[in-house]
Amino acid sequence: MKRIGMLTSGGDCQALNAAMRGVVKTLFNGKEKVEIYGFLDGYKGLIYGNYRQLSGNDFSGILTKGGTILGSSRTPFKTIQDPDENGLNKVEAMKKNYAKLKLDCLVILGGNGTHKTANLLRQEGLNVVTLPKTIDNDLWGTDMTFGFQSAVNVATDAIDCIHTTAASHGRVFIVEVMGHKVGWLTLNAGMAGGADIILLPEIPYDINKVIKKIEEREKNGSRFTIIAVAEGAISKEDAALSKKEYKKKMTNYQFPSVSYEVAAAIQEKTGREVRVTVPGHTQRGGSPCPYDRVFASRLGAEAGKLIMDGEYGFMVGYKNREIVKVPLEEVAGKLKMVEPDASIVKEAKLLGICFGD
């Protein structure tokens, strides 16, 4: 009999339940008897022994359900080896609870930080298989993460809805899309929603070039402009600052986010009316889209197969339209960024989209 632990860590997203369902259904359809233990609220559940045994019924009817039936939380990797407030060694506690349940494998669903900790547990001798979850699509070693396409759909819908009111009132509208360090979500939603300007963390912007694009559109008869801005978009001036200088600036930052800073600059320099819309956590919520349901199920099925075959220490990823296994040590600590000269960026520019560079 195999005993499998499972947890979801970091920010939630659509299709977490679908992915877990894929793992469990595959294992239950195998020849060997399986027991599933779900750790609640991410790594916290593994640290403090907060878990429950799950049956097949727990995974019935959850394919279309967003969020995670196990709950999630953020347990930063940078403090994972620091004792908690009571002096508990968190890594040793996770190893102890793994051994207590006599687990054969721990299935971990999460993003970049989650994979750093997963790789640490692998180095500590635990059998680990991971699944790539994040709306940011920024995990190294996979072309796609589940949750991404669903989030693109939500962000695109927001931009679509803004188009009609922007056109009616002849305004500049900014839609702020999630993504602190990586701009895949903003890039794809911006292109899908017909944004005229897209500002990404990887491509520092010049506000004067943003304004020039707005003025060009007005000169050509367009009464409105749609700007898709990533949470982590940064100006060329700020990008040139040292980390210390930038941190000092942010301590006295007067805007709720960069979108409001961009809006204020446009209003000051042009006199144009600018509105900011922030879809926020709606991008992580709701039911997974059909693509993510299929994709997460495929990843889950392959993870189940790895467990049945006794192959551990891998993330199940997606490369060149095929499901693949990627060694965890190759994934942990790496981000898949939008390269400024990537083909998708060049093609967006051919369409007339401005990146402010």
* Residues ≥6 apart with Cβ < 8 Å to 285: 14, 66, 67, 154
**Paired tokens of 8:** 């979801």
Active-site residue set: 136
Instruction: Please spell the DSSP secondary structure of 24-63, one letter per residue.
Output: HHHHHTSSS-EEEEEETTTHHHHHHT-EEEE-GGGGTT-T
Enumerate residues 6+ apart whose C-beta is below 8 A from 167: 223, 224
Radius of gyration of the chain (CA): 22
* pLDDT tens for the chain, residues 1 to 357: 999 999 999 988 999 999 999 999 999 998 899 999 999 999 999 999 999 999 999 999 999 999 999 999 989 999 999 999 999 999 999 999 999 999 999 999 999 999 999 999 999 999 999 999 999 999 999 999 999 999 999 999 999 999 888 888 888 999 999 999 999 999 999 999 999 999 999 999 999 999 999 999 999 989 899 999 999 999 999 888 888 888 888 888 888 999 999 999 999 999 888 999 999 999 999 999 999 999 999 999 999 999 999 999 999 999 999 999 999 999 998 999 999 999 999 999 999 999 999
Q: Let me know the angle formed at the C-alpha of 67 by 65 and 70, rounded to the nearest 5 degrees.
A: 105
**pTM of the predicted protein model:** 0.94
Q: What are phi and psi of 51, to 5 degrees?
A: -150, 170
Determine the pLDDT at residue 290. Answer: 97
The pLDDT of residue 238 is: 87
CATH class, domain 151-284, is alpha beta
Q: Nearest 5°: phi and psi at 146?
A: -80, 145
Cα 78 from Cα 143, distance rounded (Å): 26
So what CATH class is 2-147+288-331?
A: alpha beta
Indicate the domain borders of the chain. Answer: 2-147+288-331, 151-284
In angstroms, the CA 27 to CA 36 distance is: 10
Asked whether 140 and 331 are in contact (CB, 8 A), the reply is yes
Q: Do domains 2-147+288-331 and 151-284 have the same CATH topology?
A: yes
Least Cα distance to 158 among 286, 345, 12 occurs for: 286
Could you give the dihedral angle defined by the CA atoms of residues 19, 22, 23 and 24, in that order, rounded to the nearest 10 degrees? 120
The confidence score (pLDDT) of residue 182 equals 96
Q: DSSP label at 102?
A: T
Q: What's the pLDDT score for residue 204?
A: 97
